[in-house]
Amino acid sequence: MALQYKYIERPKDANVCIELLEKDIMPLLTEHWDKYGKDFYGRPFIFNIEAFANLWLVSGLVVVVAYDDDKAVGLFIGILFTPMMFNTRVLQVETCYGKSDEVERGIYNYIESIGSILGYDELWVSNDTNKDSDAKTGKTNIGKFEMTRYRRG
């Protein structure tokens, strides 16, 4: 097992981007959804390619793929932004999935190691806990997210 982690910069060639999506990203996203997302969200997996492409093109998306030799075995997708109410640069985890715990730990270690290149101060990770809570009047509670903030460095 020769794990390598690769930060994928925004694409300059549409064909390379399409190949990466088809070969590496979509199979891992689908596997992640089948394993974790579909039961929690109760929704089918429908990839929003327009949102993904728009964020990637304006450098608001961080994509890291973990490879075991040439086979994609892990994926990290994060969104870079600055909150409106205070000054910090956030990398919010949208998806982190590895075929093993070792791969996921490696992804997070890699993200930390390139933190100064990515330029983020805090890593925000949502914990999909799906705890029960009182529904607001006229609204149906469909789940709850908790966010954990980590300061880089």
Q: What is the enclosing helix (H) or strand (E) of 57?
A: helix 49-57
Spatial contact of 47 and 29, defined as CB atoms under 8 Å apart: yes
Where do the structural domains in the chain lie, given as residue ranges?
A: 3-151
Fold entry, domain 3-151: Aminopeptidase (3.40.630)
- Write out the DSSP string of 15-29: HHHHHHIIIIIHHHH
Q: Using the predicted structure, report yes or no on whether residue 153 has a pLDDT greater than 80.
A: no
Q: Using the predicted structure, report yes or no on whether residue 30 has a pLDDT greater than 90.
A: yes
User: C-alpha 139: how far from its chain's center?
Assistant: 28
Residue 133 CA to residue 107 CA, distance in Å, equals 33
How much is the pLDDT for 77? 94
Residue 100 CA to residue 114 CA, distance in Å, equals 22
Radius of gyration of the chain (CA): 16
- What pTM does this model have? 0.85
Q: Binning pLDDT at 50, 70 and 90, where does residue 137 land?
A: very low
Please write the tens of the pLDDT for every residue from 58-74. Answer: 878 999 999 999 999 99
The two beta strands, 90-98 and 3-8, are unpaired
How much is the pLDDT for 128? 56
Q: Binning pLDDT at 50, 70 and 90, where does residue 37 land?
A: confident
User: C-alpha 118: how far from its chain's center?
Assistant: 14
Helix, strand and coil in the chain, % to nearest 5: 35, 30, 35
Q: Binning pLDDT at 50, 70 and 90, where does residue 132 land?
A: very low
Q: Give the residue, 17 or 143, on which the prediction is more confident.
A: 17
Please write the tens of the pLDDT for every residue from 62-112. Answer: 999 999 999 999 999 999 999 999 999 999 999 999 999 999 999 999 999
Spatial contact of 97 and 32, defined as CB atoms under 8 Å apart: yes
